[in-house]
Structure 1
Amino acid sequence: MSQRYGIIDIGSNSIRLVIYEKTEHGAHRVVDGSKRSARLSSKINERGELSQEGINVLIETLKVYQLLAKQHQLDALVPLATAAIRNAGNQAEIVEQVKQATGLAIRVLTGREEAEYGFLGMINSLSVQSGFLLDIGGGSSELTLFLNRKIVHTFSFPFGCVSFNKRFDSKNGLSDVDLDALKSEVLQAMSDHEWITRYAHLPLIAVGGTARALGKIHQAATDYPFSQTHNYPLASQSVLELFHELRLLPQDKRKKIAGLSKDRVDVIIPGFAILTTVFQYIQATHYIICGAGLRDGVFHKLFFPEQPLQQNPLDYSVENIIALHTAIPHAHTKHISQLADQLLSCLMQHDSSKEIFRVYLNTAARLYRIGATIEYYHYEKHTFYLIVHSHLNGLTHKEILLVASIASFRSKGKAKAELKDYGQLISNEELDTIFRLGYVLQLAAALDRSETQSIQQMELKLEQDKLIISVTAAQTDLELESHKVKEIATDFKKQWGIKPVLQLNHL
């Protein structure tokens, strides 16, 4: 039986509801969500308290979210608050008013808890071993050092893009004087933590609204062909140029920047200023934009308590996709992934590229029939689309395209046509990789054309221009398999220079 959970993230800039579903097959997905740009940190008065206006906005928003929760018949609704309420002098009064008006008991996260949840959301979605994680919120920002996928140090800055914008008004751009003052405050906060300077030359993973906006603006400016900002790498110089271009623009002109949403026009400059200052101080190698964060971490921690941290994000996301598409013939795809791996090991036994190619091929083999859950006829094109638009965590955008093209491979011409809009990411060398691995997957699928997993043992031998495939099978013949191998043999030889020949050994 499926279960649904709602997480309300009461941030300093926005209040978000995300509704997750855990299916009866163990998969999870987001099924609904809502966002309100409440700007609670801008409603803090001179006494450091959230004004009654701000409390009323919060209560009104939570009541709307309760209506959505009722519609989805949630098993649990979890409201969490970060810096705006955490730092408010009237925190207890806010929590009590919300309780009285809505019945919801807000859990106020500490800065460390916020950082830990953000780290968990990020680390479960990226195949990165070590680095710095920076989450720029509206009223606070968390910097975390992780090594070998474990948190080593973390601390919370008492400022964010909204609170800084309140002090360093960037309506007409950010002056050199204000930029220097802002940077000085960020640098002073970091100088209190001597461990930061001991770990230079690591990537800076950026999460949160500022990070996502950076990715969208840069992608729009460069006509980037891929539709995700998650796991989007950026070079230091590109970000600096974009920041200095934006900080000179008044707000009315900023509204016209492609990729920048209306609710972030006024706070994007202080957010970028924090991001670039931290990057330079820690001497990071490059930026990585991460689309997962606090809410995802909370979901994993609360609803997968037995194993909230995943050591292999790619395997985890592939298993999740498979569990979401129950019509995939799992026994068949698992069998051909094993056959494909064995074929590749023989064909590339002395090639250093073999290990990463095994990852691409295994992922493609396990997902190659996903398109048939939409329609069997022409399922390959649906497979390509679904893989490109699924969360294949742990792969770069280029690698997702490679996997999608291998999984949907029919012929060289069709693969080229499918990738014509992605020329910025796919080179001729990568096209050749797609062709080679695509034919290996075709051969593996041919060896289980009957989808009965009859082959119990397979031995491979290279003889001059032939690949001898000697198999032991449960069936007395492999007529379907033999026919299919012969059908693709000519094209396979054109790509690999050897012709596959199937030989059956009887039990």
Structure 2
Amino acid sequence: MENKVGIIDIGSNTMRLVIYAQPQKGLPFKEIQNIKMGIRLRTYLNTEKIVSDEGISKLIDTLHSFQLLLHHYDVTNVTCIATATIRQAKNREDVIHIVQEKTGFTLTLLNEYEEAFYGYTAVIHSTDIKEGITVDMGGGSTEITYFQNRELVEYCSLPFGSLSLRLDFVKGSIPTEEEYEQIRQYVQAQLEDIPWIANKKVPLIGIGGSARNFGQLHQHLIDYPLAGIHQYEMNVSTVQEVQDNLKTFTFSELQKLEGLSKERADTILPSLEVFRLLLNWSNSSKFIISKKGLREGILYNKIEEQDYSSRKLVNMSMQDIMYDFRINMDNSRQIFKIAKSILKQVNKIKEMDGLITDKDVKLLEHAACIFHLGKYLNEESSSHHTFYLLSNRSILGLSHQERVKLALIASYKGKRTFRQYIESFKDWYTQDEQKKMCLLGSILKVAQSLNITKRNVVTDIKFSSKNGDWIMDIQCHDDYKPEEYRTEKQKKHLEKSLKVSLIPNFHY
């Protein structure tokens, strides 16, 4: 039976219900439903810091709507949390009591540390970044952390968010130059009180709706060839370029802009100003978007009990993919065992030490696990489906560049299709890197051929050089005719990569 969990996040700008399900014990939780309601609770917090009756009524109505969904999906394990607006409200105890009375939900009010900690947790549990600064800009507050060696070192919560900046400084729908200057002075004054952010020269990792929307917007502006926002990277100058570009748009044009949520059209510009100031103040090397945030941080800490260390992330993702596509794990292990043996023999004869790294071997292992997984959708177009599925699927612990590299190797069919797939990404990799990917892919094709019947008949492989040819002595413990036939057909790919003639020699 699936283990289901619901998390309700009552933010200053939006309220959101996310339902997660764990298909079986040991596998990660998957998001199966994500419902957002833009009630803008912050606008119901008056100058006396009281949430109005109208605001409370909208809050209760939304929670009732969420209750119906939770009942439909048969979810009883529910965590309901609230952040800045209710935290800052003088009548917060009344709000908590009314929520309990009207809905039965126990509303947990996160303090500043908890909100910052859960955001940091989400980042280190879904990326392999060793050191960085996280910024989680909500509607009413902004949480910032600094982590080193994946351990939390510093945190702070700033008393502004994308919506509160808009309400406090912008009279119209978009800021004037004078209002921009007021926002800059206010935010910069806040940052100058936090010396540990200054000049860190590490990546700035954006969490939350404002950061995600910015990343999606930029992807649309440049016609980005991949799907997915998690671990999307931008250089520092890009933030300034996008901001300068958006300043030329009218509010009506911003509302219609592809990639930008209509409800964020009036808050995106103040948000970008904060990101730009933070990048400059920290002297960050790049801006990275994290799709995982507060809710995932709560999930990782309170519910899941898995090892999310950096080295485990990709392994977990591979396990998840193999489960989704019902991949034979025993066959995958045999393919990698054969591929690793071939790579070792090639290394020995070609004297490629230094060219093939431990990271390449790990990449080969991951690609072996999911080699041509697209055949589970369509045998004839296996390679095409494999590349599309892997290049457009978020894989924890891998950057977008690493994800495409994995997809190119795991989908390898030959140099012609390789050139087709890499066309949109060829500027991402050097010629030497492309040659190495073709080599690893062609090794996997031979390895797959050597276990085409999935009986693990191959026990050992030895390579030797004779008269310019390479002899492959292949030891088997059972009938090898199907493997022999398949290998003769597929060895040409490896021959092209190595520029040698291969002579397979099968025997018991």
1:77 match: 78
Match of 1:453 in 2: 456
Structure 1 vs Structure 2: percent identity of aligned residues?
27
2:167 and 2:285 map into 1 onto residues whose CA distance is 31
In the alignment, which residue of structure 2 is the partner of 1:203?
Answer: 203
Instruction: Please say if 1:487 is aligned against 2:489.
Output: yes
Tell me whether 300-309 or 284-293 shows the greater mean CA deviation: 300-309
Mind listing any 5+ residue stretches in structure 2 that lack a counterpart?
A: none
What is the distance in 2 between the residues matched to 1:289 and 1:170?
30
Q: Deviations over 1:461-506 (max 9, x none)?
A: 455644444444432x422222222222233212212334444564
Q: Which residue of 1 aligns with 2:229?
A: 229
Q: 1:479 to 1:54 in 2, by over 3 A?
A: same
- Aligned-residue offset at 1:43: 1.5
What is the match of residue 259 of structure 2? 259
Kindly provide the amino acid, as one letter, of the partner of residue 493 in structure 1.
E
- Residue segments in structure 1 that go unaligned for 5+ positions in a row: none
Query: Where in structure 2 are the equivalents of 1:93-112 lying within 5 Å?
Result: 93-112=94-113
Match of 1:341 in 2: 340
Looking at structure 2, the residues matched to 470 and 124 of structure 1 have their Cα atoms a distance apart, in angstroms, of 44
2:441 paired with 1:438: yes
Q: 1:211 to 1:428 in 2, by over 3 A?
A: same
Q: Please say if residues 402 and 430 of structure 1, whose CA atoms lie closer than 8 Å, have aligned partners that are also in contact.
A: no
C-alpha distance in 1 between matches for 2:173 and 2:64 = 36
Give the Cα separation in 1 of the matches to 2:322 and 2:171.
Answer: 47
CA contact (8 A) 1:170 1:266 kept: no
For 2:420 and 2:249, the matched residues in 1 are separated by 41
**Deviation readout 1:358-382 (Å, 9 max, x if unpaired):** 2332222111243233344433333
Find the aligned partners of 2:230 and 2:216 in 1 and give their Cα distance.
Answer: 10
Secondary structure of the residue aligned to 2:226 is coil
Query: Considering only aligned residues, what root-mean-square deviation do their CA atoms show, in Å?
Result: 2.3
**Is the CA contact (8 Å cut-off) linking 1:485 and 1:501 kept in structure 2?**
no
Provide the rounded CA distance (Å) in 2 between the counterparts of 1:87 and 1:31.
32
SS at match of 2:81: strand
Asked whether 1:58 is paired with 2:55, we answer no
Counterpart in 1 of 2:500?
A: 498
Distance 1:171 1:499, change over 3 A: farther
Moved more, 388-397 or 441-450: 388-397
Over 3 Å counting, the alpha-carbon distance change for 1:344 and 1:213 in structure 2 is same
- The superposition leaves residues 17-68 of structure 1 with CA deviations (integer Å, 9 ceiling, x where unpaired) of 1111101253231111111111111221111121111111111111111111
Name which of structure 1's ranges 462-471 and 98-107 shifts more when overlaid on structure 2: 462-471
Q: Indicate if the aligned counterparts of 1:3 and 1:23 stay in contact, CA closer than 8 A.
A: yes
Q: Which moved more, 1:459-468 or 1:292-301?
A: 459-468
The whole-number CA distance in structure 1 between the counterparts of 2:218 and 2:427 is: 14
Deviation at 1:451, TM superposition (A): 0.9
Specify the SS of the correspondent of 2:488: helix
Q: 1:228 to 1:308 in 2, by over 3 A?
A: closer
Cα distance in 2, alignment partners of residues 310 and 428 from structure 1: 29
Cα distance in 1 between the residues matched to 2:388 and 2:257? 29
CA distance in 2, matches of 1:463, 1:10: 71
Which residue pairs with 1:363 in the alignment? Answer: 366
Change (3 A) 1:104 1:172: closer
Q: Which has the larger displacement, 103-112 or 479-488?
A: 479-488
Counterparts of 2:110 and 2:240, CA distance in 1 = 32
CA separation of 1:170/1:290 partners in 2, compared to 1, >3 Å: closer, same or farther? farther
- Larger CA deviation: 54-63 vs 159-168: 54-63
Q: In 2, Cα distance between the equivalents of 1:484 and 1:95?
A: 67
Q: Read off the aligned partner of 2:233 and give its amino acid letter.
A: P
In structure 1, what is the equivalent of residue 404 of structure 2? 401
| Corresponding residue for residue 353 of structure 2 | 350
Go from structure 1 to structure 2 and tell me whether the alpha carbon gap of 1:466 and 1:49 turns closer, same or farther (over 3 Å shift). farther
Structure-2 change in CA distance of 1:172 and 1:92 (3 Å):
closer
Q: Distance in 2 between matches of 1:387 and 1:95?
A: 44
Change (3 A) 1:205 1:449: same
Most deviating of 429-438 and 13-22 = 429-438
> What secondary structure is seen at the aligned counterpart in 1 of 2:485?
helix
Distance 1:156 1:341 in 2: 49
SS at match of 1:243: helix
Deviation at 1:431, TM superposition (A): 4.5
Question: Tell me, what secondary structure is at the counterpart of 1:154?
Answer: strand
Asked whether the equivalents of residues 118 and 297 of structure 1 are also in contact (C-alpha less than 8 Å), the reply is: yes
Report the secondary structure of 2:134's partner residue.
Answer: strand
Kept in 1, the 8 Å contact 2:310–2:397? The answer is no
Q: Which moved more, 1:188-197 or 1:208-217?
A: 188-197
1:43-442 to 2 correspondences below 5 Å: 43-169=44-170, 171-197=172-198, 200-247=200-247, 249-305=249-305, 307=307, 311-325=311-325, 327-348=326-347, 349-420=352-423, 422=425, 425=428, 431-442=434-445
Take 1:45 and 1:67, find their aligned partners in 2: how far apart are those partners?
30
Q: Counterparts of 1:462 and 1:313 in 2: how far apart (Å)?
A: 40
Q: Distance in 2 between matches of 1:301 and 1:277?
A: 31
Moved more, 329-338 or 186-195: 186-195
Shift of 1:457: 3.7
Q: How many Å separate the matches in 1 of 2:320 and 2:493?
A: 34
Change (3 A) 1:346 1:183: farther
- 2:13 is aligned with what amino acid? N
1:5 Cα offset (Å) = 1.0
Cα distance in 1, alignment partners of residues 81 and 276 from structure 2? 28
Normalising to structure 1: TM-score of the pair? 0.92
Moved more, 395-404 or 429-438: 429-438
Letter of the aligned partner of 1:499 in structure 2?
A: S
**Contact 1:26-1:323 within 8 A present in 2 as well:** no
Distance in 1, matches of 2:20 and 2:502, equals: 47
Q: Which moved more, 1:150-159 or 1:451-460?
A: 451-460
What one-letter code is carried by the residue in structure 2 that aligns with 1:274? V
How far does the alpha carbon of each residue in 1:303-330 deviate from its partner, in whole angstroms, 9 at most, with x for none? 21354655432222112222333x2111
In structure 2, relative to structure 1, the CA distance for the partners of 1:443 and 1:52 (3 Å cut) is same
Cα distance change on mapping 1:494 and 1:66 into 2, 3 Å: same
Assess if the C-alpha contact under 8 Å between 1:25 and 1:323 holds in 2. Answer: no
The residue identity in structure 1 corresponding to 2:488 is K
Q: Which amino acid in structure 1 is aligned with residue 12 of structure 2?
A: S
AA matched with 2:335: I
1:13 and 1:37 in contact (8 A); partners too: yes
Hey, what does 2:4 align to over in structure 1? 4
Q: Distance in 1 between matches of 2:221 and 2:467?
A: 52
| Cα shift readout 1:90-118 (whole Å, capped 9, x = no counterpart) | 11111111111110111111111111111
Distance 1:283 1:231 in 2: 19
**Structure 1 residue 149: Cα displacement:** 1.3
Once residues 47 and 101 of structure 2 are traced to their aligned partners in structure 1, the CA distance between those partners, rounded to angstroms, is: 26
Shift of the alpha carbon at 1:274? 1.1
TM-score, L = length of structure 2? 0.92
